[in-house]
């Protein structure tokens, strides 16, 4: 059975593409995984995942001419991806695409329709909601709640805490973990890059589309290796 991982958050700049990058780095050698950039506004993952070999990076457009996610289009694209020779498919949604997801399953079709479609594909759909701290915390946490309400208990939802954005906001980190516990959601953490020199080297490498092998700074490479060690989807 194939698994689709949707990386989502309606707030921009929270770390969706960063999480996608870390996953691609961890699973660079896993040839049965496909990474898709569905962010029509920035296409960040397309730029950052250049290091992936073969045909393991795809750029997809979920929006119609009105910049809306159309049910027929998203179903068609997911079915096409499902027919490709990959067991896991990670899709980096942009902020505009993520924002439309809750309404999509309340206006255009129901969560039950999407569940039935997943069963038709013989696939699992998992929603990975990225949460950032600071000024982005309230809106990103609110989005998590909207996703839980929209998709009910029909799909697995996982919370991903971008640790680098919670420096100085430990109370917020405790709050989101408390909310996740209340909602019975699993929590993952990523982005612990607090050391400036190392962080600069890693970020520069990411921006150039380099993977772990292209990271020449030894300590930065060790830091990135530790960062992805316990990262699991």
pLDDT, tens only, 40-69:
888 899 999 999 978 899 999 988 888 888
Burial 3-29 (b: 16+ CB within 10 A, else e): bbbbbbbbbbebbbbbbbbbbbbbbbe
pLDDT for 14 equals 95
CB of 150 closer than 8 Å to CB of 102 = yes
pLDDT, tens only, 163-173:
999 999 999 99
The domain segmentation of the chain, as residue ranges, is 2-194
pLDDT, tens only, 71-103:
788 999 999 999 999 999 999 999 999 999 998
pLDDT for 218 equals 93
Asked if CATH classification 3.40.50.300 holds for the domain at 2-194, the reply, yes or no, is yes
């Amino acid at each position: 059975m194939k698994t689709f991982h949707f990386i989502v958050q309606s707030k921009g700049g929270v770390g969706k593409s960063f999480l996608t990058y870390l996953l691609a780095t961890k699973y660079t050698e896993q040839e049965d995984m496909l990474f898709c950039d569905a962010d029509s506004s920035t296409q960040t993952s397309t730029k950052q995942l250049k290091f992936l070999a073969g045909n393991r990076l795809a750029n997809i457009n979920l929006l119609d001419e009105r910049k809306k996610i159309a049910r027929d289009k998203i179903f068609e694209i997911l079915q096409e991806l499902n027919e490709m020779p990959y067991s896991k498919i990670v899709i980096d949604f942009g902020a505009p695409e993520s924002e439309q997801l809750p309404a999509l399953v309340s206006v255009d079709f129901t969560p039950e329709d999407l569940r039935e479609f997943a069963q038709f594909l013989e696939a699992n759909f998992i929603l990975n909601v990225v949460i950032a701290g600071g000024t982005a915390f309230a809106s990103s946490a609110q989005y998590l709640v909207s996703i839980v309400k929209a998709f009910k208990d029909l799909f697995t939802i996982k919370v991903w805490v971008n640790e680098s954005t919670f420096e100085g906001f430990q109370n917020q980190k405790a709050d989101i973990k408390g909310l996740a516990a209340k909602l019975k959601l699993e929590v993952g953490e990523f982005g612990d890059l607090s050391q400036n020199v190392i962080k600069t080297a890693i970020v520069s490498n990411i921006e150039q589309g380099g993977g772990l092998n292209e990271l020449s700074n030894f300590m930065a490479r060790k830091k990135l290796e530790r960062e992805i060690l316990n990262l699991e989807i």
